[in-house]
Amino acid sequence: MEIKTLEAQYELIEFNHYIDYSETEVNIIDMVIKASNIEFMEDELSNAIVVSSDSYFYSLIDYELIECYDIGNNLIRAVYIR
C-alpha cells in the first residue's frame, strides 16, 4: 500500500477506516506511514492525499488531519476525521 501527497509518495504500513455513530456519523481514518520527518509530514498530510493499493483507492480530500505524531522506528501515525 502507498500514500501519495502533492510532493511525494510514501509506504503505508497500516490503514484503518472506522465509522462512529455515537452522535452523528463520523468517518475516522487511522494510518501508519513510513517516514521520519514529523514536521514535514504534518504539512504534507494536511493537504489532499490519496491512499491506494492493488484492490482499493481512497481520496482524503474532504478529511481533516486531527493527529500526526512519531511512533518510533521511522513511523508516523496520522488520524483523520470527516
pLDDT for the residue 53: 85
- Quick one: cell of 9? 509518495
Give dist(CA 82, CA 75) in Å, integer.
23
Q: Which domain holds residue 63?
A: 2-81
pLDDT for the residue 11: 95
The pLDDT > 70 percentage for the chain reads 100
Residue found under cell 502507498: 2
pLDDT for the residue 80: 96
3-class secondary structure, 46: coil
For the chain, how many structural domains are there in total?
1
With a cut of 50, list the residues of the chain below it in pLDDT: none
pLDDT for the residue 6: 82
pLDDT for the residue 7: 81
